[in-house]
Structure 1
C-alpha cells in the first residue's frame, strides 16, 4: 500500500515537472561499492524555478501522503501545557499555558497570540470575569485545540506554514499582552501578558526553538496589537540567551487600531463604548503595562500611544507584516458606529468612508501589508483566509512573497533591517484596496445582518447602510446604471 502510494505521488511529481534534470556526479569507487551499485543524483531544480510554488506544493503533498506510512500516528491537534513557572498566571491566579503541535523536521516556529478585547478597571474586569471567564482563567481550557487558517496542519488550507511547529497562546491576561503585574493584596487580578509570552519562549527553547531558523510571532485583534508590543522583546530575549541566529518576525492581524475621535462621544463606562484612547490610558496604569523601549522613549509620559499601530510601528526593529481590514468592525464598535437594525445615517456613512481613508494614510509607510476594503474583523485563523484577495493576490501568497524577500535581503545584506524587504518580481508585498466603501472588493467574506444573522448580498448591505446609488454615481462621475452593474458583479 505505502510503496504504491509513494510511487503514484512521485510519478505525478515527475510528470508535472519532468524538466527537473538529473545531475550525475562521479562518486569515489569505495562509495560505489559500499552502496552496492545504488546510484545517487541530486536534482537540478533550475528548470522549475518559474513554477517553484506549484512544485513545492507537490513535494509537500508527497510528504503528506507518506505520513500514514510512518509507524507513529501524526498528531494533528495542538496539546495543552501549563507553564512550569507557576508564578506567571492568568488574571485570576490560575496557571497560564500554551498549546503546541511539534513538527520535528521543521526549523520554523509560529507562535500565535489570541485576541479578545481587554478590561481596564475593577468594574470592567469583574463584569468580564462573569461573562467571559475563559479569557481570564485557565480552569476550563480544553486539553487540545485544532488549528485553522495559518495554524492548520493541512497544506490545502495553509500552503506555506502547514509544516511549522505550531504554538497557540490563549489570552487570559486582559491587558493586550502588555502587563507584568502580579496579583497583590490591593488588586484582585494579575496582569501578566508580556510575562506569559516571555515564559512560553523560555520553555520552547528546551523543545527545539533554540535551533529554529524563523520565529513568526502572530496574533489577531488584541493579539495583533500584542505582536506590535512584544516582537522586539522576543527578539531581544533570544539574543540575550545566545540565540541571535533565530530570525524573529511579526504578523499583526486586525490589531492596527486608530486613536481617532468617536462618531458619538460616550462616557467610559464599559469596554465596548469606551473611546480607544481613554480605555488604553486607564488600562496601561491598571495593568502596569510595558511597551517597547524605543517607543517609550519616543513618547515619554504618553506611553499609551504605543498601543496604536502607526505610532509604535516606526520604532520597531523586527520586520512586521500588517493585515488589516480597512473597515474593521471592532474599530467601528469602539467608535460607536453600530450597523444593526436601523439604516445608517448619512453622517455615519461618511464616517465609515473616512475611516477607510484614515486607515489607508496610517499604512502609508508600511512596506508589507494586506488591507482589503471589507467590513470584518480578524483573518489569519479563518478557514476562508485563502479566498480573500487584494489586486488578485491572496494573503498566503503575499506572506510567502514577504518570506522570500526577507530571505533574499538576509542573504544579500546579512540583515533585513527593520522594514526593508527586497521585493521579488511578480511578488507583491504592499496590497491595499483603493476602492472607497465597505465590500467594494468582490472577494470580501459574506456579510451577516448582526441583528438577524441572515447573510446579505453587497446590494442589500449597501441599501441597509443607506447607500444612495444616484448620489454615489454622481460623486464618482458615472452613470448610476453602470455603478449598479458594478456593484452587482461585486467589482
Structure 2
C-alpha cells in the first residue's frame, strides 16, 4: 500500500478544511418535519417511525421554484457484511437510515445553499431534503419479520408518494420550476421516480431530474461476482416492482430494470446525469470490495486513485469503459445532459466537504464547473451540456 507523508498532505488537507469552514459558515441548519399521518398511510421507516423531510422556503424570484433532494445511504445488503439481508435491515432500523427517531437537523450546503455567491442559480428556491429510511431507494412495498419477532417495514414507495403529496399541498403544486435530485441511492431513486415527478406538473412547468452519483453499474467485482447479485436481494425482499418501467419488465427481470442503464431508456423527463466515471464508492464497494481480493494490494488504490499501479489503472479504465458504454444511450436524447468527469468522487452537488460544488476543488468539463453546467442545462442557456471526460489522469481540475 502506498503511503503519503504529512508534508504531502498539508496543502490539500488545509485547503479542504478551509473550504469546509467557508461552506459551513454559510450553510443553514434546517429542522426535521415528520410526515403527517404516516402510520395511517403505511408510509413508515424500517422501524415503523414516520419518515421526515427538511423544508427551507424560497423567497423573492424563487418563491415558485422547488428543488427536491433525496438523501442516499446504500441499501439493506451491506457488501462484505457477515449479516444476511434481513439482519442488515434490522441493523439499519437502529440508525438514522431506518428510524426518524435518530434523525436531526441537516445543513443545507452545495446546491442547497441559500448563499447567492455560492449558488447563484438556485439559492432562493424552495428546497427540500427527503430523508432516506427504507433501504431500497424509496421503491419497495412489503414487510418482514425481524429476528426478534418485530416487524421491519419496507415502505419506500409509500414514503415517496406520501411525502410528495404533502409537499404538493405545501406549495409544490403551484411550482413554475422544479427539479428532482438525489445523491447515491437517492440518485438512483431520482431515476426511479423521475417520470412520476414530471407527470405531477402541467406541461408548461419546467420539471426536470438531476441524479447525482446514482448511475450504478452491474459490474463484476475482482472476484467475478456481478452487482446484480446484491441488487436482486433488495428487489425481492422489498417487493420492488410497481416503480419499475413496464416496457423494461416486458423484456427483462426486475433486478435488471433496477439498474440506471435500463431506467434511463424509459425516462421521458429532461434529465442531467452527474457522475464520475471513476465513481469512488462503486470502485470501493462494487469493483473491489474487501472480500474480492487477498492481502492489501488494492487497499491503497481504492482509497486514493493516486496510489493505483498501472495495472490497477487498466482495471479502473475497464470499469470506466463500461460506464461510458452504459451512459451513451442518452447522448441523443433531447433535453438531456451529461456531466461525467474522471475525478475520484461520489456525489458532487451537496454534503460538503466531500463534494466539490462551486469551489476551487470543482472539476471542469468543457470549461464549465458542475454548478455552471447544471445551471446552463436547466435554464437552457447552452444548446448542449453533454460532456464525458477522458481517462484518468487527464483532467487537471480533479482535486
TM over 0.5: yes
Query: What's the offset of the Cα at 1:110?
Result: 0.6
Structure 2 equivalent of residue 331 of structure 1: 282
Query: What's the offset of the Cα at 1:296?
Result: 5.2
Structure 2 equivalent of residue 441 of structure 1: 395
Select which of 191, 207, 219 maps to 1:260.
219
What is the CA–CA distance in structure 2 between the aligned matches of 1:189 and 1:226, rounded to whole Å? 20
Cα deviation digits, residues 242-276 of structure 1 (max 9, x gap): x565432110011101112222236xxxxxxxx42
Query: Contact 2:215–2:260 (CA<8 Å) still a contact in 1?
Result: yes
Query: What's the offset of the Cα at 1:300?
Result: 4.7
What is the CA–CA distance in structure 2 between the aligned matches of 1:92 and 1:299, rounded to whole Å? 34
What is the CA–CA distance in structure 1 between the aligned matches of 2:248 and 2:300, rounded to whole Å? 45
What is the CA–CA distance in structure 2 between the aligned matches of 1:315 and 1:307, rounded to whole Å? 12
SS at 1:251's partner residue?
A: strand
Select which of 62, 65, 78 maps to 1:108.
65
User: Are 1:234 and 2:209 counterparts?
Assistant: no
Deviates more, 1:357-366 or 1:285-294: 285-294
What is the CA–CA distance in structure 2 between the aligned matches of 1:442 and 1:138, rounded to whole Å? 42
How big is the alpha-carbon RMSD for the aligned residues of Structure 1 and Structure 2? 2.6
Structure 2 equivalent of residue 450 of structure 1: none
Select which of 232, 236, 240 maps to 1:285.
236
What is the CA–CA distance in structure 2 between the aligned matches of 1:371 and 1:288, rounded to whole Å? 32
Alignment CA distance shift 1:203-1:129 (3 Å): closer
SS at 1:189's partner residue?
A: strand
User: Are 1:119 and 2:60 counterparts?
Assistant: no
Alignment CA distance shift 1:129-1:347 (3 Å): farther
What is the CA–CA distance in structure 1 between the aligned matches of 2:204 and 2:173, rounded to whole Å? 9
Task: Name the count of aligned residue pairs.
Answer: 336
Structure of greater relative contact order (alpha carbons < 8 Å, 6+ residues apart): 2
Structure 2 equivalent of residue 391 of structure 1: 366
What is the CA–CA distance in structure 2 between the aligned matches of 1:263 and 1:205, rounded to whole Å? 45
What is the CA–CA distance in structure 2 between the aligned matches of 1:159 and 1:256, rounded to whole Å? 27
What is the CA–CA distance in structure 1 between the aligned matches of 2:204 and 2:154, rounded to whole Å? 31
User: Are 1:373 and 2:342 counterparts?
Assistant: yes
- In the TM superposition, 1:39-50 aligns within 5 A as none
Structure 2 equivalent of residue 421 of structure 1: none
Query: What's the offset of the Cα at 1:124?
Result: 2.3
SS at 2:322's partner residue?
A: helix
Query: Contact 1:102–1:166 (CA<8 Å) still a contact in 2?
Result: yes
Structure 2 equivalent of residue 78 of structure 1: 30
Query: What's the offset of the Cα at 1:141?
Result: 1.4
What is the CA–CA distance in structure 1 between the aligned matches of 2:218 and 2:99, rounded to whole Å? 29
SS at 2:379's partner residue?
A: helix
Structure 1 equivalent of residue 155 of structure 2: 192
Structure 2 equivalent of residue 37 of structure 1: none
Query: Contact 1:232–1:292 (CA<8 Å) still a contact in 2?
Result: no
What is the CA–CA distance in structure 2 between the aligned matches of 1:440 and 1:292, rounded to whole Å? 39
Query: What's the offset of the Cα at 1:235?
Result: 2.8
Query: What's the offset of the Cα at 1:292?
Result: 4.0
- In the TM superposition, 1:24-423 aligns within 5 A as 76-87=28-39, 88-105=43-60, 106-120=63-77, 121-129=85-93, 133-142=95-104, 144-182=105-143, 188-236=151-199, 238=200, 245-265=204-224, 275-290=226-241, 292=243, 294-295=245-246, 297-300=248-251, 302-332=253-283, 333-336=285-288, 339-341=298-300, 344=308, 347-366=311-330, 367-383=336-352, 384-386=356-358, 387-405=362-380
Query: What's the offset of the Cα at 1:187?
Result: 7.2
What is the CA–CA distance in structure 2 between the aligned matches of 1:280 and 1:155, rounded to whole Å? 40
What is the CA–CA distance in structure 2 between the aligned matches of 1:307 and 1:180, rounded to whole Å? 15
What is the CA–CA distance in structure 1 between the aligned matches of 2:88 and 2:372, rounded to whole Å? 40
Query: What's the offset of the Cα at 1:277?
Result: 0.3
Alignment CA distance shift 1:244-1:189 (3 Å): farther
Alignment CA distance shift 1:182-1:306 (3 Å): same
SS at 1:135's partner residue?
A: coil
Query: Contact 1:291–1:303 (CA<8 Å) still a contact in 2?
Result: no
Give the TM-score normalised by the residue count of structure 2. 0.77
Q: Which runs of 4+ in 1 moved over 4 A?
A: 182-187, 295-301, 342-347
Query: What's the offset of the Cα at 1:399?
Result: 1.2
Cα deviation digits, residues 414-447 of structure 1 (max 9, x gap): xxxxxxxxxx55x54012212x22x4311213xx
What is the CA–CA distance in structure 1 between the aligned matches of 2:29 and 2:300, rounded to whole Å? 39
What is the CA–CA distance in structure 2 between the aligned matches of 1:146 and 1:355, rounded to whole Å? 33
Query: Contact 2:64–2:174 (CA<8 Å) still a contact in 1?
Result: yes
Query: Contact 1:194–1:290 (CA<8 Å) still a contact in 2?
Result: no
